[in-house]
Amino acid sequence: MLGDIGLPELLVIFVIVLVLFGPGKLPDVGKAIGEAVRGFKKAMRENEESIEDKTAEKEKDCQQKNHA
């Protein structure tokens, strides 16, 4: 998921975030990022289910037209 980001890159990102927000804000930043990722995954899952439902409906309609 993260591509070619390794441990050194993650440590640099962590240090930058620590400098920008300070140690007191890190839990809030982590929580906000976690909620954003969960929301994105939920939206992707709902979109995928919607596409699957529409595909199933179209297949059902085509089968009914072929049998009629």
Structural domain tally of the chain?
Answer: 1
Residue 4 maps to a domain: no
Residue 53, domain member (yes or no): yes
User: 62 in a domain, yes or no?
Assistant: yes
The verdict on residue 22 lying in a domain is: no
pLDDT at 2: 55
Mean pLDDT of 20-30: 87
Residue 37 resides in a domain: yes
| Chain segment 2-15, per-residue pLDDT in tens | 568 788 898 898 88
Query: Is the residue at 41 inside a domain?
Result: yes
User: Does a structural domain hold residue 3?
Assistant: no
Report d(CA 59, CA 55) in Å as an integer.
6
Instruction: Please give the model's pTM, rounded to 2 decimal places.
Output: 0.56
- Phi, psi angles (nearest 5°) of residue 6: -105, -170
Any domain includes 21: no
Give me the domain span that covers residue 60: 30-68
In which region does residue 3 sit, left (phi positive, over 0), alpha (psi from -120 to 50) or beta (all else)?
left
